[in-house]
Structure 1
Amino acid sequence: MLNFTFKNRTEILFGEGQIQEVASRLPENARVLFLYGGGSIKKNGIFDDVSAVLQSATVTEFAGVEPNPEYETLMQAVQVSRDNQVNFILAVGGGSVIDGAKFIAAAVNFDGNPWDILVSGAEFSETLPIGAVLTLPATGSESNGNSVVNRRETAQKRAFGSDSVQPMFAVLDPTYTFSLPPRQVSNGVIDAFVHVIEQYLTYPVNAPLQDRFAEGILHTLLTEGPKALSTPQDYDVRANVMWSATMALNGLIGKGVPQDWATHMIGHELTALYNLDHAQTLAIVLPSLMFVQREQKKTKILQLGERVFGITGEDEGRCLDLTIKAVQDFFEAMQVQTRLADYQIEKRSIDDIVANLEKNGMTALGEHGDIDLAKARQILNLAA
């Protein structure tokens, strides 16, 4: 097992009705930026619930944070926060809204061009505290310090991370996910599944507890994910999916083990260039990446096949193939397609994707740093 430090400061308020705890977690004389997305929370009652617990605070609303939050939109929210002297951000939504809140929290008191936070790792301080009310379990952003921001004008999707922007608390009420459209449910399950894979499917370092934690999350998503589509009002199913998505990226299963993240980095370019949903990009890239990297990842792919999918046998090559196919079949069963062609992205577009990887410095990806541009092209060609 590799050396690590672990601390997770987010207080999880899990279960129905936990929104009532928010008022007691706000600072004195709270001036809250109430941040949300496209307005669905006004149709399903969540907006009213949040407004009720913010009655004692001074509230400034900011709506319209996009899926794959746009830098330009977030900069408008930064200015609104400055103008209203906001001292707390309450992000109500899925990972995009929470990621956006983290960027706003870092940028409000940043002396310089906030884009530098994303492209050059510029240091920042005096961040605003954040709370989250999760409505779409997927990214785990509610209990980590990671954020990804899109900038359409430059066709870039860039990330930053800091403990200082990790939410202080997060409300996880499974009933808030009952009204999600099937597409968002599917995306959320796949996003969480691949988060686990990125931290698990590397090479062994004698970390059996992390492996078993990871396999438990994968197995739960594998069994509960389809149920979330077929029985959308099942509280227990939604609770299991929600908790699995949080546990997938709260830092625990990745401690002491190597991590990959090449699927995400290649996938980000598909979102930046073609505006695909994040989970759609992961479903396209991962099976092909597993095939191209099958020798480097052989031990863990075989372990995944046996422990999660029940695939065993003496023929290692066949077990590898069946496990990769099982992952792809799961994505398809969750109603997410797995080929570039499924999204009308032609093979000739691979040149543009590879060029964007090079522009963004993504030239040595994976746990071994051995996914160069040529190998990325091979992965994309296989996914065509």
Structure 2
Amino acid sequence: MQDFIFEVSTKILFGRDNLKKLSKEIKAHGNKVLICYGGGSVKRSGLYDKIVANLKENNIEYKDLAGIEPNPRIESVKRGIEIVKENNIDFILAVGGGSVIDCAKLVAAGAKIEADPWKIVLGEERVREALPIGAILTIAATGSEMDNLSVISNMDTKQKLAWGSKYVLPKFAIMNPEYTYTVPKYHTAAGSADIMSHTMENYFSLNDGCYMQDRMSEGILKTVINYGPIAYNDPENYEARANLMWSSSWAINGLLGSGKSTAWSVHAMEHELSAYYDITHGVGLAILTPRWLRHVLNDETVEKIATFGKNVFEIEETSDRFEDANKAIDALHKFFKEELNIPMTLKEIGIDETHLREMADATITHNGGNIMGFVELSSEDVYEIFKESL
């Protein structure tokens, strides 16, 4: 196990009755709030009205940044920064899922510089401070409420890129599973796949001695496999929603990757699909992951993939580890397709061969020339995985 530092200071307020504590948490950091949210679901559900009532009762001023996209765009970030600067906002409240929180993070950092915020994403502008952020989570998926990472899209340049800074780790997150009851089935499925993908990106590594982290990863995967279909079929099942919500936070807050050297492979590939086609992130991950595992299956990786099958899907071991590994990959594909009804080919979500080579090259370019993950991937490897996913 490698040396590491693990620190996550986000305060979690989990359960049904914590919204009443919102203003107290905000006032520990500021008193003029930018409320960030996406489409109309936050208002239709009544959550927005409850938030505003709480702020008004405690004399907290607020402005809105509405309409943040599912793959948040740099234009929304710039709108938010403009509102912040015009109104002397001192706190950012993200109400939604990972896309809203990711946008809020760049608004918080971008408000402290005079340069184009896209330069932060490109790594050309250093983040030295940011406005404090809080989150009210309405979908279990990205875990952005408890990490310092953000992913932003620039549709003009066909780039969807990740960046991070310790300064944008949320100060608190209010996590009420009831707020996820209205999440549509399609996005419940995509969110479940996203949680699993975060976990698997950390899990699939070699020779690192991280026994504890791997067993915790398997536990999170089994939790999603158990509760994902329940939430899909019974949207108001509190325990299912609660377990998915808590799993999403711990899949990506740094714990599972502690002591490992991991380069996320599937996310890098999916970001190009989203940048070109603006697809649902979790669906793209679900389509790519089994094909990626099949592509990287070799003498070195077979034992880890077979162990995944045994410990996560309870596949009985045989003397043929390659057979066991292939059964594990088949089980993952079947779970996504049959239990969560996720479309499992790129063609089903409107992607054909047109840009495959271009996206494969961009995947490698945007990741420094190679992907040193479970198995090193070249542009040709990515292209083959894309083709296998059609």
TM > 0.5 between the two?
yes
Q: Which amino acid aligns with 1:36?
A: Y
Q: Which amino acid aligns with 1:23?
A: S
Q: Which amino acid aligns with 2:243?
A: N
The residue number in structure 2 matching 1:9 is 9
CA distance, structure 1, for counterparts of residue 124 and residue 202 of structure 2: 23
User: Does the aligned pair in 2 maintain the 1:363–1:371 contact within 8 Å?
Assistant: no
The residue number in structure 1 matching 2:243 is 240
1:24-63 superposed matches below 5 A:
24-27=24-27, 30-55=31-56, 56-63=59-66
Tell me the matched-pair count: 384
The residue number in structure 1 matching 2:343 is 337
Q: 1:124 to 1:343 in 2, by over 3 A?
A: same
Q: CA deviation at 1:53?
A: 1.9
Q: Is residue 217 of structure 1 aligned with residue 220 of structure 2?
A: yes
CA distance, structure 2, for counterparts of residue 306 and residue 220 of structure 1: 15
1:124-163 superposed matches below 5 A:
124-163=127-166
Q: CA deviation at 1:126?
A: 2.8
The residue number in structure 2 matching 1:306 is 310
Larger deviation, residues 257-266 vs 142-151: 257-266
CA distance, structure 1, for counterparts of residue 146 and residue 367 of structure 2: 28
1:128-207 superposed matches below 5 A:
128-207=131-210
Q: CA deviation at 1:368?
A: 5.7
CA distance, structure 2, for counterparts of residue 351 and residue 60 of structure 1: 43
Q: Which amino acid aligns with 2:68?
A: V
Larger deviation, residues 134-143 vs 111-120: 111-120
The residue number in structure 2 matching 1:356 is 362
Q: CA deviation at 1:59?
A: 0.6
Q: Which amino acid aligns with 2:323?
A: R
- TM-score if structure 2 supplies the norm length? 0.95
Q: Is residue 257 of structure 1 aligned with residue 260 of structure 2?
A: yes
Q: Which amino acid aligns with 2:48?
A: F
CA distance, structure 2, for counterparts of residue 325 and residue 14 of structure 1: 35
CA distance, structure 1, for counterparts of residue 280 and residue 372 of structure 2: 22
Larger deviation, residues 356-365 vs 145-154: 356-365
Q: Which amino acid aligns with 1:349?
A: H
Aligned-CA RMSD value: 1.4
CA distance, structure 1, for counterparts of residue 263 and residue 365 of structure 2: 20
Larger deviation, residues 365-374 vs 227-236: 365-374
Q: Which amino acid aligns with 2:2?
A: L
Q: CA deviation at 1:57?
A: 0.5
**Unaligned 5+ residue runs, structure 1?**
none
CA distance, structure 1, for counterparts of residue 75 and residue 359 of structure 2: 23
CA distance, structure 2, for counterparts of residue 368 and residue 175 of structure 1: 37
Q: Tell me, what secondary structure is at the counterpart of 1:26?
A: helix
The residue number in structure 2 matching 1:325 is 330
**Unaligned 5+ residue runs, structure 2?**
none
1:269-288 superposed matches below 5 A:
269-288=272-291
User: Does the aligned pair in 2 maintain the 1:191–1:278 contact within 8 Å?
Assistant: yes
The residue number in structure 2 matching 1:101 is 104
Deviations 1:332-372 (Å, cap 9, x if unpaired)? 12121221122232234312212332553453114267201
User: Does the aligned pair in 2 maintain the 1:265–1:362 contact within 8 Å?
Assistant: no
CA distance, structure 2, for counterparts of residue 207 and residue 125 of structure 1: 33
CA distance, structure 2, for counterparts of residue 373 and residue 97 of structure 1: 31
Q: Which amino acid aligns with 2:306?
A: L
Deviations 1:29-61 (Å, cap 9, x if unpaired)? 601001111121111111122112212211111
User: Does the aligned pair in 1 maintain the 2:108–2:131 contact within 8 Å?
Assistant: yes
User: Does the aligned pair in 2 maintain the 1:226–1:334 contact within 8 Å?
Assistant: yes
User: Does the aligned pair in 1 maintain the 2:302–2:322 contact within 8 Å?
Assistant: no
Q: 1:202 to 1:368 in 2, by over 3 A?
A: closer
Q: Is residue 74 of structure 1 aligned with residue 80 of structure 2?
A: no
Q: 1:365 to 1:41 in 2, by over 3 A?
A: same
- TM-score if structure 1 supplies the norm length? 0.97
Q: Which amino acid aligns with 2:380?
A: A
**Structure 1 stretches of at least 4 aligned residues deviating more than 6 Å after TM superposition:** none
The residue number in structure 1 matching 2:67 is 64
CA distance, structure 2, for counterparts of residue 96 and residue 192 of structure 1: 14
